[in-house]
Amino acid sequence: MTPEATSNAVNCKKFALVVPTLNEAANIVTVLDRAREALSQLPLAWEILIVDDDSTDGTSEIVRRYSGAHPEIRLVERHAQTGLAGAIAYGWEHTDADVLGVMDADLQHPPELLPDLVTRVCQSSHIAIASRYLHANSMAAWNLPRRMISRLSVLASKPVQRSGLRVSDPMSGFFVLRRECIAGMEFQSAGFKLLLEILAKGRIRSVAEIPFKFGTRSGGKSKADGMTAVHYLSLLCRLSREMVFGRNDAGRQTNSSAASSAGTIAQAAPPSGTQRTRSLDVILGLLPLVLGLQLLVWIVYLPVALRGDADFRAFYSAGYMVRSGQGGQLYDSQALKAVQDARISRSAGLLPYTHPPFETLLFAPFSIFPYRGAYLIFLGLNLTCLLICYRLLRKKLWLAGAAWNWLPLLLFINFMPVAAALMQGQDSLILLLLLSAAFVQIGRGNDLIAGSLLGLSLFRFQILLPIAFLFFLWRKWHLLASMAVLALFVFTLSIFVSGAEGIRQYLRFIYTMGVKLAATSQVGYVPVAAMPNLRGLLLSAFHLRSGSTLLAVTLAASLLLIFLAAWAGHSASADWQLSIAITVAALVGYHMLTHDLCILLIPMAMLLDEHDARGLWNIPFVWLSTVPCFFAYSYLAALPVLGLFLFLIWRCWRILLTTPARQQKLASALN
């Protein structure tokens, strides 16, 4: 099809390109020269609007002189106003063109792509987007943290995009669209991400994506800063709120995009008949907000973690000590401090290694690498463990997948304890992997394999012991036998690693840590108030003093929950029993931190597999309650976990009442 035929097909009359500027004197002439040459190929009228926000480097004067020789260039100035999105909308308001576009002035967007974008819009698509993610190595010049942040930003936007019109690069600042798609609409003026809001709210039924290689800035300075993330988080929050409480779902689309080497085009289809529960809608609507919060935390915390101020510091130093023949000194504070200062970074305090000696064998290979590299490699291992857990539990997540096919995976990635484990370089996701595999095996009746997997989880014995005690009360002898064998194996490994004296030091260390844990922070210890378990809740919410009273009340409450679980779960299926046991362990575990709560993904998956959706309200409460853990209110997470436990108990009791044997017994009693 010729350009003329394309133009006549949808009656495109005029194209207006908006180029926002703020101190772009070094680039603007080159941008205008290349854009004019590219747009001269179009068979329709066009103009370029430079929207300048009080540049102090003479950008507006350069454009004013340039426009004197080229009348198709117009300067539009804004005073005492900022915000890239607002500048774009302001430029579009000052043109009568029926096709609108935007491009950056830093030469990272190639103007030579403009004819293709305009042609796609005039041919068939309502919007055409230049995407950085359709071809590999399109952002090869970016460093790893920047690529990670960019990918997380895109992932955070997925829930607020319309199903069937989800694109690979909703953060792009290089796109063309028809004016009719946004006529009469208002958009945010602050921030950088106008395209996402257009995709979420605009009258768009088809999208074309065209790949391009993101260029490098040749002059000037980037305008992105910390407020960019804040504005993005605010946008996600607003779009999420509109999606959950204010958007008419009739406008949502359901089919997926089709990709090709030249680009992708997404066409809208009628909405599917799948009915979503309100509880999952709440999670779906708040996904971008929580992901945006995680993005902010990652931006702030990743450089800190790479400097050595993460929990991985303790694992790395312990692994190095074992590899260098110092296994007998794992719990010697001075020796460990010397290794951490020499191998990682100097620090005023000590981050002690609090786990059994055998676990250091996992981290010894990581100590071959410098700390930064080892941290990133272990981050990759943790992500791999998370993805395997997702695959193991995916069949249980069918209801979430019915709401949106990306929701099951995002439930995992977006769960705050998972983010905490990833950031800190913790081993909680390895524990989740072992428990998930045991969950699958126990559901298949393979108690010996399940018990072996649970036995390997002894590096978190404070979680495993309540689980083992419940299975003892349920008389799961084969499972317990295999657990005992593996426990003996890892104990032997611990002796091999640190010797008998090292084991004695570890036991003394654990006893000392248990006694000294108090409500106030101490070097090497965690305050009880920071624990999202029964112990932290009793101390913080009921102001019990940390000591004998707290210990007695915590023990009594823990035994009550354990025996309640034992009574309700004795006739339940094995997978229900393990789900209950994991929830109990999260509550009564003596030493629990935020990242340990990632094991709750297993009982939540069990609930999602239920046909009765009444219990699903537990999931958003648990899922969202972990967010305050990032703001020193960890103990509050124990309340929804307690609610989850009580619902699991109630559910097992109801299942028990509906069994034929129980119904026959009740009928006999009534007669």
The highest-confidence range among 478-492, 541-555, 639-653, by mean pLDDT, is 478-492
What pLDDT shows up at residue 260?
A: 35
What pLDDT shows up at residue 220?
A: 56
If one counts every other C-beta atom within 10 angstroms of the C-beta of residue 234, the result is 16
Average pLDDT score, the chain: 81
Mean pLDDT (whole number) for 45-74: 91
Confidence of residue 140 (pLDDT cuts 50, 70, 90): low
Burial 480-515 (b: 16+ CB within 10 A, else e): bebbeebbeebeebbeebbeeebbebbeebbeebee
Confidence of residue 177 (pLDDT cuts 50, 70, 90): very high
Tell me: pLDDT of 248 over 80. Answer: no
What pLDDT shows up at residue 516?
A: 54
Q: Distances from the Cα of 651 to the Cαs of 570, 613, 615, in angstroms?
A: 13, 12, 9
Angle, vertex CA 318, rays to CA 303 and CA 511, nearest 5? 110
Mean pLDDT (whole number) for 601-611: 85
Q: Identify the burial level of 34 via C-beta atoms within 10 angstroms of its C-beta, where 0-12 means exposed, 13-18 middle and 19 or more buried.
A: middle
Mean pLDDT (whole number) for 150-163: 72
The highest-confidence range among 155-169, 241-255, 347-361, by mean pLDDT, is 347-361
246-255, 333-342, 605-614: segment of lowest average pLDDT: 246-255
Mean pLDDT (whole number) for 611-622: 67
14-18, 214-218, 268-272, 378-382: segment of lowest average pLDDT: 268-272
Tell me: pLDDT of 209 over 60. Answer: yes
Output 351 or 545, whichever has higher pLDDT. Answer: 351
Confidence of residue 32 (pLDDT cuts 50, 70, 90): very high
Tell me: pLDDT of 409 over 50. Answer: yes
Q: Please say whether the beta carbons of 61 and 30 come within 8 A.
A: no
What pLDDT shows up at residue 515?
A: 60
What pLDDT shows up at residue 256?
A: 34
Tell me: pLDDT of 521 over 90. Answer: no
pLDDT digits (tens, 9 = 90+) for 70-129: 999 999 998 877 778 888 989 999 999 999 999 988 888 999 999 999 999 998 889 999
- The token duo for 602 is 């297993």
What pLDDT shows up at residue 356?
A: 93
13-22, 239-248, 593-602: segment of lowest average pLDDT: 239-248
Q: Please say whether the beta carbons of 207 and 165 come within 8 A.
A: yes
What pLDDT shows up at residue 186?
A: 81
Q: Identify the burial level of 304 via C-beta atoms within 10 angstroms of its C-beta, where 0-12 means exposed, 13-18 middle and 19 or more buried.
A: exposed
Mean pLDDT (whole number) for 20-25: 88
Q: Which helix (H) or strand (E) holds 510?
A: helix 477-516
What pLDDT shows up at residue 481?
A: 96
Rg (alpha carbons) of the chain, rounded to whole number: 29
What pLDDT shows up at residue 388?
A: 96
Mean pLDDT (whole number) for 564-571: 89
Tell me: pLDDT of 299 over 90. Answer: no
Tell me: pLDDT of 136 over 50. Answer: yes
What pLDDT shows up at residue 423?
A: 93
Confidence of residue 61 (pLDDT cuts 50, 70, 90): very high
What pLDDT shows up at residue 563?
A: 93
Confidence of residue 591 (pLDDT cuts 50, 70, 90): confident
Closest C-alpha to 18, from 79, 81, 98, 74 = 74
Tell me: pLDDT of 180 over 70. Answer: yes
Mean pLDDT (whole number) for 593-609: 90
Tell me: pLDDT of 611 over 90. Answer: no
Tell me: pLDDT of 261 over 60. Answer: no
Tell me: pLDDT of 435 over 90. Answer: yes
Residue 256 to residue 266: CA distance in whole angstroms: 7
What pLDDT shows up at residue 457?
A: 93
Q: Please say whether the beta carbons of 125 and 206 come within 8 A.
A: yes
Output 625 or 318, whichever has higher pLDDT. Answer: 318
Residue boundaries of the structural domains of the chain: 3-139+162-223+249-270, 308-657
3-class SS of residue 512? helix
The class level of CATH for 3-139+162-223+249-270 reads: alpha beta
What pLDDT shows up at residue 201?
A: 84
Output 557 or 255, whichever has higher pLDDT. Answer: 557
3-class SS of residue 593? coil
Confidence of residue 11 (pLDDT cuts 50, 70, 90): confident
Tell me: pLDDT of 282 over 50. Answer: yes
Confidence of residue 8 (pLDDT cuts 50, 70, 90): very low
Residue 587 to residue 640: CA distance in whole angstroms: 10
Mean pLDDT (whole number) for 379-397: 94
What pLDDT shows up at residue 413?
A: 86
Confidence of residue 512 (pLDDT cuts 50, 70, 90): confident
Residue 99 to residue 122: CA distance in whole angstroms: 8
pLDDT digits (tens, 9 = 90+) for 457-500: 999 999 999 999 999 999 999 999 999 999 999 999 999 999 98
Mean pLDDT (whole number) for 227-250: 61
The highest-confidence range among 229-238, 249-258, 582-591, 662-671, by mean pLDDT, is 582-591
- The token duo for 438 is 């045991």
* Residues above pLDDT 90, as percent of the chain: 40
Tell me: pLDDT of 182 over 80. Answer: yes
Tell me: pLDDT of 664 over 70. Answer: no
The order of strands in the sheet holding 73-78 is 73-78, 45-53, 14-21, 99-102, 175-178, 127-131, 206-211, 263-267, 258-260
What pLDDT shows up at residue 119?
A: 92
Tell me: pLDDT of 7 over 70. Answer: no
Specify the pairing of strand 175-178 against strand 99-102: antiparallel
Tell me: pLDDT of 525 over 90. Answer: no
